[in-house]
Amino acid sequence: MSKSFVELNDVKLRYSEGDELALETTNMKIDKGEFIAVVGPSGCGKSSLLKLVSGLMPPSEGNVIVDGKEVSGPLKIVGMAFQNPTLLPWRTTLDNVLLPMEIVKPHRNRLRKHRAEYEERARKLLATVGLEGHEDKYPWELSGGMQQRASLCRSLIHEPDLLMLDEPFGALDAFTREELWDILQNLWMIKPFTVILVTHDLREAAYLADTIYVMSKRPGKILVERENTLPRPRDQETTFTQPFTDLVHELRSHIRDVREA
Amino acid sequence: MKKKLNLRKATPWLSAIGLFVLWELIVRIFNIPPYVLPTPSESIIVGWQFHEAIWMHAYHTLYTTLAGFAIAVVFGVVLGALVGSSRAIYDAANPLLVGFNSVPKVALVPVLVMWFGIGTVPAIITAFLISFFPIVVNVATGLATLEPELRDVLRSLGATRRDILIKVGFPRAMPYFFASLKVAITLAFVGSVISETVASNVGVGYLMLSASSKFNMPLVFAGLLVIAVMGIAMYEIFNVIERRSTKWANRGNPTN
């Protein structure tokens, strides 16, 4: 078996000394290029999990290992996208997507000289999410779905090994959301990167993930680890097949148990 | 559309003229003596008679105001950046700043005179002291209200505090900064004129004081009008700069 890319070993988290636990003993192993989803009731510490793995928050106990090294501070090349697209309003779509290039090494030192090359790369990426022709628009000129696409491009432009998605499609209408599932799946299938997706949309988890973790109410704890072997690429039709609906049902019943517990 | 725009442009002039007409009428109808309230026409005529003296004093006031204001901008931005980017500095500086801002600056003028003598220096310092506060508060607010998600995005890319400040903090604080400049420049006029009135022998404040001691009320009002006009002009200049440099904050709509 290949060595895991991300490992959580007996991780516990409290926000401050003496607080009750936000995250109860958690163990996780994520392979390189694996797409995992974490589902659970709101306030169960799903987002904290992302912060732990990306090193934005240290665990109170246990350790987090990414790429063979223990995480002791913010990792340097993680891509992140949130429910709120958080684009910079004074930058065009293209410049927003290029933001990570101004920060991540070695790109930050190369950007000025090789600007055209980087712009080309950003344009290509924007085209794959259907934003061709919108590169020079400002965020307020884009719809919510388009902003979220741009945000997704920003999180991927530097080709991160690890992508963290915190309910990135939560604020979108159902059609846009399912369109973006396909876009994300495509990008991931072309060149697999490791993804941790936090969501409360069970269909989203079933559509996208290889492994789905169900978390309990606070203090958060992983109750179920469910592999999802539905063949890829998954598409609209997949969502109407028996195995897909069975999987969503199963997840739903886990969540029901969690909420009633 | 064009007509509507023209009307909008004319509105401020119409309201100003309307105020003068009303003022003129009230003084004439109620027969108010000029040593209590002169008519605007009288004030303007007297102002023209003394225009050389007024010009000299106004120029001096403008100079002290802008000098004080310039110091306030530099000081305000630096202090605002410190206060806005560090919780500890915010906690340490906040009570002092609020306390200091509550002290009436006119009470400080005698102190400044003891230190620097009468004249230009205390006027510049008073203009500075009275106008830096809004700049500090606004710059700090602009920096401190950065979305935590955005900070996380940048930090997980390996951004340093300095990166975050330059890439996001300062651009984001620009609208706040420019809004504060408009307030600060008008306050700077208040500061310099106060100081000139109390302790100077040059400037519009001094001119008005000496005119009132000679019961030349039209000249006093001419001085007030000159200060108001300078204030409006400066305000408008910063208004234009603000709109040009932070178009994105108005969503590209320059008339907003």
Across-strand partners of A70?
A65
Amino acid A110: pLDDT: 86
Q: Where does residue A44 rank: exposed (0-12), middle (13-18), buried (19+ CB within 10 A)?
A: buried
Query: Which residue of A80, A90, A105 is in closest CB contact with B153?
Result: A80
Question: Given 3.30.379.10, 3.30.70.2190, 3.30.70.20, 3.40.50.300, which CATH number is that of A1-77+161-261?
Answer: 3.40.50.300
Q: Does residue A138 surpass a pLDDT of 60?
A: yes
What is residue A108's predicted lDDT score, i.e. its pLDDT?
86
The separation between CA A34 and the C-alpha centre of its own chain, rounded to angstroms, equals 12
pLDDT score at B96 = 92
Q: Give the residue-averaged pLDDT of A159-177.
A: 89
How many other CB atoms are found less than 10 A from the CB of residue B111?
A: 11
Does A74 sit within 8 Å of B248, measured CB to CB? no
Selected residues 94-133 of chain A with any CB under 8 Å from a CB in chain B: 99-100, 102-105
State the Cα–Cα distance between residues A128 and A116, nearest whole angstrom: 19
Residue among A94, A183, A192 at smallest CA distance from A142: A94
A160 vs chain B: nearest CA distance in angstroms?
A: 9
Residue A137: Cβ within 10 Å count: 15
Residues B132 and B128: their CA atoms lie apart, in Å, by 6
CB-CB: which of B149, B249, B251 is closest to A86?
A: B149
Strand partners, A63: A9
Among the residues of chain B, which ranges form H helices? 2-29, 40-49, 51-85, 87-102, 109-116, 120-144, 148-155, 161-164, 170-198, 204-213, 217-245
Alpha-carbon gap: B212 to the closest alpha carbon of chain A (Å): 51
Q: How confident is the model at residue A1 (pLDDT cuts 50, 70, 90)?
A: very low
A:150-179 residues touching chain B, CB 8 A cutoff: 154-155, 158, 164, 166
- Among A174, A186, A187, CA closest to A79: A187
Do B248 and A104 lie within an 8 Å CB cutoff? no
Rounded distance between C-alpha atoms, residue A50 and residue A215, angstroms: 13
CA distances from B107 to A17, A94, B186 (A): 48, 54, 19
**pLDDT recorded at residue A217:** 80
Find out whether A250 and A226 touch, Cβ atoms under 8 Å: yes
Q: Are B225 and B45 in contact (CB under 8 A)?
A: no
| Nearest partner of A74 among A50, A97, A99, judged by Cα | A50
Distance CA A54, CA A197 (A): 13
Q: What H or E segment, with its residue span, contains residue A93? A: helix A93-98
Lowest mean pLDDT among A88-92, A121-125, B250-254: B250-254
Write down the domain spans for chain B.
Answer: 51-248
| C-alpha distance from residue A56 to each of A21, A47, A65, A153 (Å) | 18, 11, 14, 22
CB contact under 8 A, A158 and B171: no
Mutate which of A99, A105, A154, A163 to test chain B, going by most B C-beta atoms within 10 A?
A: A99
Strand (E) or helix (H) holding A106: none
> Is ipTM strictly over 0.85?
no
| Interatomic CA distance for residues B149 and B172, integer angstroms | 15
pLDDT given for residue B253 in this prediction: 60
Inter-chain contact A89–B155, Cβ cutoff 8 Å? no
Mean pLDDT of chain A: 88
Q: Tell me: the pLDDT tens digits for B30-45? A: 999 988 899 999 999 9
Question: To which CATH superfamily is domain B51-248 assigned?
Answer: MetI-like (1.10.3720.10)
The per-residue pLDDT for A200 is 87
Task: State whether residue A252 sits within 8 Å of chain B by CB.
Answer: no
pLDDT exceeds cutoff 70 at A28? yes
- A vs B, Cβ pairs < 8 A, gives 69
The pLDDT tens digits of the residues spanning A41-73 come to 777 788 888 888 988 888 888 899 888 888 888
Residues of chain A with CATH 3.40.50.300: 1-77+161-261
pLDDT band for A83, please (50, 70, 90 cuts). Answer: confident
Q: What is the pLDDT of residue B256?
A: 43
Q: Which residue type does B237 have?
A: I
Q: Which residues of B touch A79 (CB under 8 A)?
A: 156
Decide if B248 and A90 are in contact by the 8 Å CB cutoff.
Answer: yes
Parts of chain B with a pLDDT under 70: 1-3, 251-256
| pLDDT score of B184 | 95
Alpha helices in A157-225 (DSSP H): 174-190, 202-208
Better-scored residue on pLDDT, A205 or A44: A205
CB contact under 8 A, B171 and A90: yes
- B149, B168, B252 ranked by CB distance to A84: nearest: B149
B171 contacts on A by Cβ (under 8 Å): 88, 90
CB contact under 8 A, B156 and A104: no
Which residue among B156, B168, B248 sits closest to A74, beta carbon to beta carbon? B156
A37 residue type, one letter: A
Q: How do residues A214-238 score in pLDDT, each as one tens digit?
A: 988 878 888 888 888 888 889 888 8
